Amino acid sequence: MLKKDDITAHNNFENIRVALEQQDVEKVLQITQHIKPADIAMLSHHMTPQQQIEFFSVLPNAAYVFEHLDLVEQVRLALQFQADDLVALISNMHSDKRIDVFKALPLQLQNYIFSQLDADKKAQIQALIVYREESAGSIMSSDYVTLSAQLTMQEAIVQLRRVAADRETLYLIYITNQAHQLQGVISLRQIIQSPPEQLIKEVMTTDLVVGLVDEDQESIATKLSHYDFIALPIVDHEQHLVGIVTYDDAMDIFQEEFTEDILKGSAVESTTKLSLKTAPIFTLYRQRVFWLVILVFGSLLSGIGISHFEETIAANLVLVFFLPLLVGSGGNAGSQSSTLMVRAIATGDVHIKDWFSLLGRESLVALCLGATMAFAVSILGYIRGDHMVALVLAISMMGIVLVGCLIGMSLPFILNKLGLDPASASAPLVTSICDATGVIIYLFIASQLLVNIV
């Protein structure tokens, strides 16, 4: 059954589609005037490219709706707009969103758009485009408000009214000196509630939390989340205020990082932001082939282990029946440990110095898990073979789960120490390593305890 919101969205889409076909601009404006920009953007996803172009050309707040599309969709549409229409659209976007689209466009189109922008927006682009990807500078906005500490609250309100329409947020106002160095911050509430004649410098907060312009974007997002800020001021190394990162940007960063970690955890390269629906086949192939080939060679270790114990297997064919079960259990246990550790490292809950203490804790947990699984598998071993097979399976399960958990726990630490992303240590990589070690442990124990089982 369709939800009420889904039915409303469907009806809105159909009404807009009909209005566009009839070129009834007034009807389109009437339908969309009470719909939030994010929801209008969702409606546009169901339109054909031509309908989308027509739709954005009549929306009065087209730039704000356009900002709610993902970057891939924005670039796809941008390439279909008339050049002058695209200039108008990009010109009205917030500075941090504008620079993302601008950098993704072909160089020739960038040059044309840049030549048509006003001096202020040219200066914003020149200031923001120089920062490296995934730094605070690459995601910050220059749509912030600054005031002088010497102003009274009444003077501040008058000045805020003049600039309010062009700024992304007015909840926090930043106080700078003549050299544009950050001195303090004051909220709009404080300005309104203070006596009109009181000076800003008497009320502003000077104990500031800031981000550096070359700081990693994930660190910036973590600060915003930790302090529950609406926006974080970004400064250079001389404390000049160069931009702000807002809370909605932090949410976008967390989503990007989460997606990247999921892809790496599945041994998929996260080198592209293309949609799964529209990405070229070769791009999808390239994302996945590297790790799959690497893991193929990693799996050869399992084959080498099996070949080394061919005589044991030939004499005790019952061992083959339990091989996938035992090896899979080790991989599953290792993947669980790896996932928990990658998450703990990412959130700052654990550090490299905690490895030794965590080793003991993980060993105890692994032994408890292994003992429980050993009891279950030994019953199957006794039914399928005899008491010796049950003993081999129980000891092997204990050893395989213990080693798997320790590998899964330690590998993220090792990669982090080497300066690599711990997320790469997740499921497929850990599973391949645990498979090889599990085969060797199982068959080695069997070769020592079993002489011949008929």
Pairing of strands 231-235, 211-212: parallel
Q: For 238, which DSSP code?
A: T
Q: For 317, which DSSP code?
A: T
Instruction: Decide: 173 and 188 in contact? Cβ < 8 Å.
Output: yes
What does pLDDT average to over the chain?
83
- 3-state secondary structure (DSSP) of residue 433: helix
Residue 190, CA distances (Å) to 35, 154, 202, 247 in order:
32, 12, 11, 20
- How far is 425 from 335, CA to CA, in rounded Å? 9
Per-residue model confidence as pLDDT tens digits over 354-402: 888 888 899 999 999 999 999 999 998 888 878 888 999 999 999 999 9
- How far is 308 from 233, CA to CA, in rounded Å? 62
Mean pLDDT across the stretch 39-55? 85
> Which residue's structure tokens are 């700078």?
176
Per-residue model confidence as pLDDT tens digits over 167-217: 667 788 999 999 999 999 999 999 999 999 999 999 999 999 999 999 988
Mean pLDDT across the stretch 434-438? 87
What's the longest Cα–Cα distance across the chain? 98
Buried b (16+ CB within 10 A) or exposed e, 182-216: bbbbbbbebbeebeeeebbeebbeeebebbbbebe
> Which residue's structure tokens are 């039915």?
7
Please give the order of strands across the beta sheet that includes 231-235: 211-212, 231-235, 241-246
- In the predicted model, is pLDDT for residue 237 greater than 60? yes
Instruction: Decide: 250 and 231 in contact? Cβ < 8 Å.
Output: no
Within 8 A by CB and 6+ apart from 416, the residues are 345, 352, 422
Please give the order of strands across the beta sheet that includes 146-147: 146-147, 172-176, 182-187
- How far is 218 from 236, CA to CA, in rounded Å? 18
Token reading at 396 = 């092997």
Token reading at 120 = 């202020």
Per-residue model confidence as pLDDT tens digits over 104-115: 899 899 999 999
pTM above 0.75, yes or no: no
CA angle, corner 3, sides to 12 and 8, nearest 5? Answer: 15
- Using CB atoms within 10 Å of the CB of residue 9, give its burial: 0 to 12 exposed, 13 to 18 middle, 19+ buried: middle
The domains found in the chain, sorted by start residue, are 4-131 (1.25.60.10), 146-246 (3.10.580.10), 281-449 (1.10.357.20)
- In the predicted model, is pLDDT for residue 48 greater than 80? yes
Within 8 A by CB and 6+ apart from 173, the residues are 145, 146, 147, 156, 160, 185, 186, 187, 188, 191
What's the confidence (pLDDT) of residue 453?
43
Task: Read off the pLDDT band of 275 (50, 70, 90).
Answer: low
Long-range contacts at 364-373 (CB < 8 A, ≥ 24 apart):
365/405, 366/333, 366/337, 366/401, 366/402, 366/404, 366/405, 366/406, 367/398, 367/402, 369/333, 369/401, 369/405, 370/333, 370/397, 370/398, 370/399, 370/400, 370/401, 370/402, 371/398, 373/329, 373/397, 373/401
Per-residue model confidence as pLDDT tens digits over 281-302: 777 677 677 767 777 776 677 7
Pairing of strands 211-212, 182-187: unpaired
DSSP, residue by residue, 95-150: HHHHHHHHHHS-HHHHHHHHHHS-HHHHHHHHHHTTSPTTBHHHH-B----EE-TT
* DSSP count for the chain of H helices, then E strands: 21, 6
Token reading at 155 = 């003077």
